Amino acid sequence: MEVQERILDTAFSLFRQYGTRSITMDDIATRMGISKKTLYAHFVDKDDMVVHAIRRYLEIIQEEERTIISKADNAIEELFEIMNMMDEKLRNMNPVIMLDLQKFHSRAFLVFQEYRNSSLRTTIRTNLERGIREGLYRKDLDVNILTQFRIASAMVCFQPEVFPMEGYDMGKVQRVLLEHFLYGVSSAEGFRLIEKYRQQQLSLNK
């Protein structure tokens, strides 16, 4: 792996736990056993590093989503796989990171908004359309409204007032909300499939 990528992965693993504000460039350099000079050889400043760290994280998620979507047999299997993937991606994530981006790293915040408004929206909408086509979701769904709702629901885990880090794991929150959404959009046939995948999950975790 390239040095930049290793720096970004180290930085992001710290940012996701503590937010960007409380992590210093010294922390990152120390953690990697390199000097700050090396950090500044690869990134113009901290803000630039935050932008790249967020971008990389989102690109990895999108890449994994593409793979899942192309492999999944149907919309429900797709959602289950995305749920497992996001569980890991959001585990131990501190919701303050979003406030830090909003307040101190507006460029990185824009990168996230761009992801939310294009990639995430498309993934959600396409999954709904797929499920309806496959007869696994109800035919009378309002795809527009439900897409908007699902985006909002995915964002609620970043509100520390609603889900403070003490007591709630972001990955778990996302999983529970997504599963709840899935039950809400499913047809009778979809419902049976959900039960089947849930059984499979249970036997896998043993």
Q: Which of 1, 37, 140, 202 binds DNA (CB under 7 A)?
A: 37
Residue closer to DNA by CB (options 36, 91) is 36
Choosing from 40, 149, 168, 191, the residue that interacts with DNA (CB under 7 A) is 40
Secondary structure, 3-state, 190-201 = HHHHHHHHHHHH
Q: Residue 182: name the closest of 171, 190, 172 by CA.
A: 190
Instruction: Provide φ and ψ at 186, rounded to 5°.
Output: -80, 150
**Min CB(9)–DNA separation in Å:** 18
Shortest Å distance, C-beta 58 to DNA:
22
Closest approach, Cβ 78 to DNA, in A, equals 40
25 binds DNA (CB under 7 A): yes
Q: Is 103 in the site for DNA (CB under 7 A)?
A: no
106 interacts with DNA by CB under 7 A: no
DSSP string, 12-38: HHHHHHHTTTT--HHHHHHHHT--HHH
Q: Are 119 and 194 in contact (CB under 8 A)?
A: no
Work out whether 104 is an interface residue with DNA (CB under 7 A): no
Question: If binding is defined by CB under 7 A, does position 85 make contact with DNA?
Answer: no
Question: Which position among 26, 63, 114, 195 is part of the footprint of DNA (CB under 7 A)?
Answer: 26
- Of the listed pieces 3-11, 41-49, 108-116, 127-135, which binds DNA according to CB under 7 A? 41-49
Cα 113 → chain centroid: 13
Is residue 59 at the binding interface for DNA, with CB under 7 A as the rule? no
48: left (phi over 0), alpha (psi -120 to 50) or beta: alpha
Among 3, 5, 6, 36, binds DNA (CB under 7 A): 36
Counting every residue written for the chain, the total comes to 206
Cβ atoms 97, 19 nearer than 8 A: yes
Binding-site ranges for DNA (CB under 7 A): 23-26, 35-37, 40, 45-47
